[in-house]
Structure 1
Amino acid sequence: MSQIIIPDEIITNKIYFIRGQKVMLDSDLAELYDVETKQLKRQVRRNMERFPEDFMFELTSVEYEILRSQIGTSSWGGTRYLPMAFTEQGVAMLSSVINSMTAIKVNIQIIRVFTKIREMLADNLSIKLEIEEIKKKISSQSKNIELVFSYLDELIDKKENTIERTKIGYKK
């Protein structure tokens, strides 16, 4: 079984953050799967029971315009229908409705990229938590150092304000 190699960067660049989710658009998936977008959409519409709202949703016209303005319109051309956006689970489900070896192989690669992104975000979160912990410690230490200096200032003030007493004891 030959391996289809698509650089991870190409797949990563086709993942968008819409409605708080990482998604891929139907046209990008069709291009990666080497099928026409209308064929992909047709297969999805024939199998809508496999694509609940958390697997796939159609962009609103406002979302589509915002996305077009971010990406640029030169390669998009005109479309009669709003794009479908597929979450990671939706992309996984696509392999069951698009019956081609290319789609299956590319799908495996896409799922691996989604997994890498998820792992990177988890690593990022743990690093942020560790940084917050360090900030708390530094803040606490700064307060402690300020407290030590204020005590030292008080001691210095007391020493300066004390009256010299005559020494008691034997004199030589």
Structure 2
Amino acid sequence: MGEEYKDGLVSYRGLFEQSLQRFASSVPAATIPVELSQAKIVAIAGGSDALWPLDTFAWPILERRQLFGKDAVLISDPEAGHRVLLPGETTSRSSLHAYGGCDVADARLGQASWASMTTLLGRSAWPEASVPGDTLCDLNAQNGKILETSCAQGS
């Protein structure tokens, strides 16, 4: 088990996936019991994340929460990578680590996630200067995957 490279950059996703298989008997003890938490949970996952397989972890979180009668939200884009670019962000890519995805998909996932995050935290949790306005997103999703997103700035 070691580092993998994608486009000349270090990618750890394969290492995580191999470790999950190799040490499968240890996974239950290492699993965070999110189903016991009273917190509201929004999981955001890029399906092309090259750093680690959050998309693989996200579904069991939702399933375990449902078994305990608790809600959780999954916002996922199969083309997005590790970066979730929120509205107004222009975070550059790493020169060492592969993120996966592309700028357009990472920004699309960030835009789709913004409304859920601000609702969860409450608009008052964000300093006025950092809130890019009300963002209205219509998601056409199936099984947690974004099929189509239409977002616009509200007035």
User: Which bin holds the TM-score, normalised by the shorter protein?
Assistant: under 0.3
Structure showing greater radius of gyration is 1
TM-score by length of 1: 0.21
TM-score by length of 2: 0.23
* Structure with greater proportional strand content: 2
